[in-house]
Structure 1
Amino acid sequence: MVVSGLLVRRLGGVAAVAVLLGTFAVATPAQATSSNNSVEKLTKSVTLSGVLRHLVALQAIASLNGGNRASGGPGYDRSADYVATMMRLAGYHVTRQPFQFNFCEDTGSSFVQNAPTPTTYADQVDYDVMDCSGNGTTTGLVVPVDLALTTPNSSTSGCEASDFTTAVNGNIALLQRGTCPFGQKVANAEAAGATGVILMNQGNTAAPDRQDLFLGTLGNPVGIPAISVSYPRGVAFNGTPNLNVTITTETIAEVRDTENVIAESRHGDPNEVVTVGAHLDSEPDTAGINDNGSGSAGILEVALQMRNIKTKNKVRFAWWGAEESNLVGSTFYVSNLTAEEQAKIALYLNFDMIGSPNYTFGVYDGDDSAGEGSGPGPVGSAQIEAVFQRFFASRSEATAAADFTGRSDYGPFIATGIPAGGLFTGAEVRKTEADVALWGGVAGAQYDPCYHAPCDSLAPERNGADADLYRQLRQEYRLFGNVNTFAIDTNADAIATAVATFAQDTSTIPARPAAAAVATRSAAVPMTAQGDWLQ
């Protein structure tokens, strides 16, 4: 194949070489004939080396474009070029769906206690800047707002305008996570005259995700600095009389253009569509090799290896933009489908982080058998889960129930009643001793120690990862940068198995009356897909 000069300039040399390698694979596929279409053969043809070559390309793109692949920037645009080029070469019908979104980035910050005890706090250790925080510096007293610090900590702090007293005006509101979206709380504080917000975790359970420092997005830009802290730190702030602090946030908030990349198979029933998705964008300060280069690479390799299979059902692969900005790309896609088009989607499979270094094998809990969190997915989700569970059982691998929290791109699909499932190897939650007994690894460390950090790359230690921790992980596992090769290899096979299964037969998925399904599910899960990332 001849790679055009334009492609070399746009993707960069290393990524263009990856395109060459990918095109060579297209010319000599493992299943080049339509008769060679079994689940087993497709799964076998999806190899670790095939998936990793896409991660090399994505890292090269990031390295040549400011170190990231965030939507709204050149790194994302080149990533979209790469995926679209590979899929066109493989014979898929490719469309690029443009949309606009609120681009938010923090470029620097500081947080200090002025009184009663002068203290300097560390970014991403003691506090974190909320995504879409306002830009500026504010100094003032910390004023607690309607906190719930006793069991069951059923906080509605900041959800209503009536929560705010006049004491907040000109000062910094201390709010608590819970009940309503972060953005609603901060917007209410700003309207009440607060000059800044400290948002503490909820503390309603002992689980780390409700105790520790957390990451969150406001969804839309606000005009005042907003930071998050852990539940214990928030309790300590609440108990400190005359607490005076200064918060400085250096942020960018503007409307930018980006796109989804959609690629559809040439074969299959257009009235029975199996949709497979992963978000392609990274956070603005990282190459995003695990989050979510891993999912993007996994579905790309599966798509390339099944390109000549004549499937019974249409297969639609999607790489979503602006997921990190509140699931904007997938929400835009789903909300712009007609009711008839939504009804044609038999199911949705989502793959967001499938190679976490300190992994767990998470399978989305379609039937809510774990009885925790957000409840079951739409009717049909349990049948999707069962396909994945059978796969892992065949490999003698344990799985964990991953909750439909709304943190990823399945959110807009389940909100319209479309059954969903997928895989997740873990993010900021810390691995337990019980996890180690099942999958090995390092207890007390995050499933992905570089989650939303610059070290989510092919050179994590060089980009700031804890060298001692990664030395321990390498003693346990084989890593490819910030990706666990066993986890991503196994999950890529699981993806191939599920996609091939449903591409040929969706008879296990119960039929759904489109209008009734939409009405029922939408009442439970808003289209904004509020989850841990948002509230």
Structure 2
Amino acid sequence: MKVSTLVLPALASATLVAAAPAGAPLVESNKLRRVLLRSELKARAQELQAIATANNGTRAWGTPGHWDTLTWIESHIDKNYYNVERQYFNITRQIFDDVSVKVDGVRFSDVNGMTGSPNGTVSADILAIPNLGCEASDYPASVAGKIALVHRGSCNFGLKNALAGTAGAAGLVVWNNDPTSLQPTLGAPEDYNVTEFIVSAFITQADGQALVTKLGTGTLPATVANVFHEEIDLTANILATTKGGDQNKIISVGAHTDSVKAGPGINDNGSGTIAQIEVAKALTKFSVNNAIQFSWWSAEEDGLLGSRYYTSHLPEEEAAKIVMNLNFDMLASPNYLYAIYDGDASAFPSPYATNGSALIEKTFIDFFADDGKESVPTAFDGRSDYQGFLQIGIPAGGVFMGAEGIKTAEEAVLFGGQAGEPYDACYHQACDDINNLDYGAFITGAKSIADAVAKYGRSIAGFPFPRAAAKLIPRTPLAEPMVPNPSLTKHARHGGCGKALEA
């Protein structure tokens, strides 16, 4: 496909040779799935952990750990079978210069900024807000002109900010309800029916408890700073498209490659990244009738930026060649469930439901059923990397195994594990490492990819394609940087990327 890309010299010079070994059989689901091994998933996970460990424990986009991740992915892709490209693009990055909270002359030592907070410093008296600050009635008239101190919990950080600001507060400090550190995100003001947020910061549970005790019902002088500047930084997607198969009927398969800054992201989304690598390697033993494009997206954690860049720069004639997009995010959650995006909106209302997406959902439902496993629908809300495809009329679907959401008793009966506990208790934390994977779930997730790739790589009979031309989303100028918007990455039902929006 022709997309706006810059190709590494080594890749650009690759010789186009036979698309598959001479006499390679046409791909079949059961044969492709049999090639996949738990031992190989584990080996790749160990390699990815080593990359994170060598780079201060993170693979966030723009860091050496992420660039090393991209090089590592490319090292596993057969250039004789695939055309491999790097698609470079710029992102505006927010760099914190001063994130601080000082009360009664004492500066707190552990303070996090809030992504989405206005740039600035506020000095005023600080007042503890009762309850959790999730209702307008929680904010007394006396908060006007003061800094509101609010406990984390029950509702989004953005809602707390909007309610405090609407009540006239000059600033906001949220204190944690958990000892684990967090990088909070407010989202967008318009999501909460306000035109702007107020300056805000996030302090630890211990500091918050001590401050609430010290304040009682009174106030103390305080200063809150959330001062930052913006820089433009470079990152890249990786696109690997089979040389064989009909290049006018392309099955797009995607997973994001970046972790959050707080940890190595071996489940989120090392698992999806690794599963795609192993399926892409296994596929080289077969031929396909329809082209398969494996995409490894960058900067998902900052608002689906890699996939959005790709879809927003895709010419109409190239978009028309993509039959569908399959998305895989978090495939090895330790307290997993097998969740399938609800493409027919039978369980969750969705503006994105189409006949094509419903057929994709059924493909995954059938896979799990044939494998003797249960599955459940999850919200098809556009909060993952399939969003950009839906916006240009391309059907989508995929599998997800849970993030910070809490497993229900009913789900524990279906999938085992612990009811009342998160699907992934290490979501967006430093402990999302090599020990945070369930390999039974992992191999099942990889095989769900293989099943769909084999099915649609063989035939798209009965699928609505070609489809009526869609009106594409406005084209973004090539030189214009992408702007982070973490509010786009949140799963409504089973948790997912962007949970820092939620208190």
TM-score (norm 1): 0.69
Rounded Cα–Cα distance in structure 2 between residues aligned with 1:66 and 1:506: 45
Q: Does 1:384 align with 2:360?
A: yes
Q: How does 1:4-403 map to 2 (within 5 A)?
A: 33-35=23-25, 37-89=27-79, 91-104=81-94, 130-131=114-115, 133=117, 140-141=125-126, 149=135, 171-172=147-148, 182=158, 194-196=170-172, 198=174, 216=185, 218=187, 224-227=199-202, 254-370=231-347, 372=348, 374-403=350-379
SS at match of 2:76: helix
Rounded Cα–Cα distance in structure 1 between residues aligned with 2:169 and 2:80: 56
After TM superposition, give the deviation of residue 34 of structure 1 in Å.
1.6
Q: Does 1:426 align with 2:402?
A: yes
After TM superposition, give the deviation of residue 351 of structure 1 in Å.
0.4
Distance 1:305 1:149, change over 3 A: same
Equivalent in the alignment of 1:210: none
After TM superposition, give the deviation of residue 109 of structure 1 in Å.
7.5
Percent of pairs with identical residues:
33
Rounded Cα–Cα distance in structure 1 between residues aligned with 2:403 and 2:331: 10
Alpha carbons 1:294, 1:353 under 8 Å: kept? yes
Alpha carbons 1:132, 1:253 under 8 Å: kept? no
Rounded Cα–Cα distance in structure 1 between residues aligned with 2:275 and 2:98: 33
2:446 aligned to which of 468, 483, 492: 492
Equivalent in the alignment of 2:479: none
Alpha carbons 1:106, 1:251 under 8 Å: kept? yes
Distance 1:183 1:289, change over 3 A: same
Equivalent in the alignment of 1:448: 424
Once the two structures are superposed, residues 265-319 of structure 1 have per-residue CA deviations (whole angstroms, 9 ceiling, x without a partner) of 1111111110000000001121100000000000110011102422111111111
Equivalent in the alignment of 1:502: 456
Rounded Cα–Cα distance in structure 1 between residues aligned with 2:153 and 2:425: 23
Rounded Cα–Cα distance in structure 1 between residues aligned with 2:376 and 2:223: 42
AA matched with 2:200: P
Distance 1:506 1:112, change over 3 A: farther
Equivalent in the alignment of 2:384: 408
SS at match of 1:377: coil
Distance 1:66 1:299, change over 3 A: same
After TM superposition, give the deviation of residue 510 of structure 1 in Å.
1.3
Once the two structures are superposed, residues 417-436 of structure 1 have per-residue CA deviations (whole angstroms, 9 ceiling, x without a partner) of 21111111000011121111
Once the two structures are superposed, residues 248-268 of structure 1 have per-residue CA deviations (whole angstroms, 9 ceiling, x without a partner) of 769886432111111111111
Rounded Cα–Cα distance in structure 2 between residues aligned with 1:199 and 1:375: 36
Rounded Cα–Cα distance in structure 1 between residues aligned with 2:160 and 2:245: 44
Structure 1 unaligned segments of length 5 or more: list them. Answer: 1-28, 158-164, 202-212, 459-480, 520-525
After TM superposition, give the deviation of residue 53 of structure 1 in Å.
1.8
Rounded Cα–Cα distance in structure 1 between residues aligned with 2:217 and 2:146: 17
Equivalent in the alignment of 2:494: none
Once the two structures are superposed, residues 78-124 of structure 1 have per-residue CA deviations (whole angstroms, 9 ceiling, x without a partner) of 0000112221446311111111223457899787998xxx9x9998x
After TM superposition, give the deviation of residue 325 of structure 1 in Å.
0.9
AA matched with 1:130: M
Equivalent in the alignment of 2:481: none
Rounded Cα–Cα distance in structure 1 between residues aligned with 2:458 and 2:360: 14
Distance 1:259 1:282, change over 3 A: same
AA matched with 1:444: G
AA matched with 1:331: R
Moved more, 220-229 or 424-433: 220-229
Alpha carbons 2:165, 2:198 under 8 Å: kept? no
Distance 1:139 1:415, change over 3 A: farther
Equivalent in the alignment of 2:468: 513
Distance 1:387 1:185, change over 3 A: same
Rounded Cα–Cα distance in structure 1 between residues aligned with 2:217 and 2:142: 18
Q: What is the RMSD computed on CA atoms of the aligned residues?
A: 4.6
Rounded Cα–Cα distance in structure 2 between residues aligned with 1:355 and 1:102: 31
TM-score (norm 2): 0.73
Rounded Cα–Cα distance in structure 2 between residues aligned with 1:111 and 1:446: 31
Distance 1:488 1:176, change over 3 A: closer
After TM superposition, give the deviation of residue 323 of structure 1 in Å.
0.6
Distance 1:107 1:80, change over 3 A: farther
After TM superposition, give the deviation of residue 241 of structure 1 in Å.
6.2
Distance 1:281 1:141, change over 3 A: same
Moved more, 372-381 or 264-273: 372-381
Rounded Cα–Cα distance in structure 2 between residues aligned with 1:172 and 1:413: 41
Equivalent in the alignment of 1:4: none
Rounded Cα–Cα distance in structure 2 between residues aligned with 1:41 and 1:287: 33
Distance 1:102 1:71, change over 3 A: same
Rounded Cα–Cα distance in structure 2 between residues aligned with 1:228 and 1:360: 33
Rounded Cα–Cα distance in structure 2 between residues aligned with 1:389 and 1:496: 14
Distance 1:402 1:32, change over 3 A: farther
SS at match of 1:87: coil
Rounded Cα–Cα distance in structure 2 between residues aligned with 1:137 and 1:528: 25
Greater share of helix residues, 1 or 2?
1
AA matched with 1:513: A
Distance 1:306 1:73, change over 3 A: same
Alpha carbons 2:186, 2:487 under 8 Å: kept? no
SS at match of 1:59: helix
Once the two structures are superposed, residues 54-73 of structure 1 have per-residue CA deviations (whole angstroms, 9 ceiling, x without a partner) of 21111111111111111000
AA matched with 1:301: E
Structure 2 unaligned segments of length 5 or more: list them. Answer: 1-19, 190-195, 475-484, 492-497
Rounded Cα–Cα distance in structure 1 between residues aligned with 2:204 and 2:349: 22
Rounded Cα–Cα distance in structure 2 between residues aligned with 1:495 and 1:448: 21
Distance 1:78 1:517, change over 3 A: closer
AA matched with 1:348: N
Alpha carbons 1:361, 1:398 under 8 Å: kept? yes
Rounded Cα–Cα distance in structure 2 between residues aligned with 1:381 and 1:258: 30
